Amino acid sequence: THLAQNWRLFGTGTYDLQSNVLVKDGVGFAYNDSCFTYIMTYSQTRDTVTKEVSQNIGFNLSFRTLGDFGSSTSAIDTIQ
């Protein structure tokens, strides 16, 4: 979904039909213009056996003429 010129919001999800559970979901936003693109994401992954939940935050900065730079980090795992 485009929020405004150059801005968009997106989401994702992965559902395990065999275990009948949502195993991964995420949300993010992005800015894109003629010079660069910036993307920020947040996601959660659930283990179907242990019920452990991993959280992840990531970003990517891409300059049209120079290349990409990005990082991702996992937060504290929680059990639900």
Q: What is the pLDDT of residues 25-55, one digit of tens each?
A: 999 999 999 888 999 999 999 998 888 999 9
From 7-16, 25-34, 66-75, the region with the lowest mean pLDDT: 66-75
From 6-20, 37-51, 66-80, the region with the lowest mean pLDDT: 66-80
Give the chain's domain count.
Answer: 1
Q: Residues 59-76: what's their mean pLDDT? A: 71
pLDDT at 73: 62
Tokens coding 29: 């936003």
pLDDT at 64: 81
Range of the domain at 50: 2-79
What long-range pairs does 71-80 form, CB within 8 A, spacing at least 24? 77/52, 77/53, 78/52, 78/53, 79/50, 79/51, 79/52, 79/53, 80/46, 80/51, 80/53
Q: Which helix (H) or strand (E) holds 50?
A: none
- Asked if 51 and 79 touch (Cβ cutoff 8 Å), the reply is yes
